[in-house]
Chain A
Amino acid sequence: DVKVTQSSRYLVKRTGEKVFLECVQDMDHENMFWYRQDPGLGLRLIYFSYDVKMKEKGDIPEGYSVSREKKERFSLILESASTNQTSMYLCASSLRHRGGSGANVLTFGAGSRLTVL
């Protein structure tokens, strides 16, 4: 019954390494999102995508990039990991808003806890 799958639950990387976080959803959702969650700061939006090959910056995109080559997969890339990117990363997906009173509920994955040493 898993709907949003994040490939790694725990990762430990070194400063300067390139890091890939993968997210796959099986609900045929158009929208996909990457958030990071830090104690006392809640969830902050990094990037999102409304369609294949499309991406939009969220509130904290610096130091991150994303890739969406297929509808079901949304990857978060840390080109050169830094210690301040140690965090919990949450992927989510939702249907495209089709007007009216649609709810656009986000379904979240289990999260990927990244530690950068």
Chain B
Amino acid sequence: ELKVEQNPLFLSMQEGKNYTIYCNYSTTSDRLYWYRQDPGKSLESLFVLLSNGAVKQEGRLMASLDTKARLSTLHITAAVHDLSATYFCAVARGSQGNLIFGKGTKLSVKP
């Protein structure tokens, strides 16, 4: 059974600091996704990681994937308040886009 675990579940950061969110999954998968959710809003796709060693970057966010360790990381560089949101990782189960989500990491960036 595929399980996806994120940690930490809550993260309070100061502006300007760096931090990493971790996503572990229990069985082999060829696709890993990161989504962002703002309060009261729906999920927005951030990154799709398709192969071992894949790295994607957008602004202050960088995601990477290690399929051998079944681990993805979302690294936040020099956090700003606008990054406050809940971040979900999700792993594909099967070939048709059936995603299993982690519980989410609620990030709060304080001045």
* Chain A residues with a Cβ under 8 A of chain B: 31, 33, 35, 40-45, 48, 50, 56, 58-59, 90, 92, 94-97, 101, 103-111
One of B11-19, B65-73, B76-84, B98-106 at the interface:
B98-106
Q: Is the beta-carbon distance between A110 and B97 smaller than 8 angstroms?
A: no
* Chain B residues with a Cβ under 8 A of chain A: 9, 30-31, 33, 41-45, 48, 50-51, 88, 90, 92, 95-104
Complex CA gap A31/B53 in Å reads 28
- 4 further A-B contacts with Cβ under 8 Å, apart from A45-B98, A104-B96, A106-B43, are A31-B96, A33-B99, A59-B100, A104-B31
- 14 interchain pairs (CB within 8 A)? A31-B97, A33-B97, A42-B88, A42-B101, A43-B90, A43-B101, A44-B101, A56-B98, A90-B43, A96-B97, A97-B96, A104-B31, A106-B43, A106-B97
Q: Is the beta-carbon distance between A105 and B51 smaller than 8 angstroms?
A: no
Complex CA gap A107/B101 in Å reads 14
Q: Is the beta-carbon distance between B97 and A42 smaller than 8 angstroms?
A: no
Complex CA gap A33/B98 in Å reads 8
Q: Is the beta-carbon distance between B103 and A41 smaller than 8 angstroms?
A: yes
CB neighbours (8 Å) of A56 from chain B are 98
CB neighbours (8 Å) of A92 from chain B are 43
Query: Given A41-B103, A42-B88, A42-B103, is A108 in contact with B42 using a C-beta cutoff of 8 Å?
Result: yes
Complex CA gap A56/B51 in Å reads 27
- B9, B30, B104 — most chain A CB neighbours (10 Å): B104
Q: Is the beta-carbon distance between A97 and B101 smaller than 8 angstroms?
A: no
**Distance to closest chain A CB from B95 (angstroms):** 5
CB neighbours (8 Å) of A94 from chain B are 97
Q: Is the beta-carbon distance between A105 and B45 smaller than 8 angstroms?
A: yes
**Distance to closest chain B CB from A74 (angstroms):** 14
Q: Is the beta-carbon distance between A108 and B43 smaller than 8 angstroms?
A: yes
CB neighbours (8 Å) of A105 from chain B are 33, 45, 48
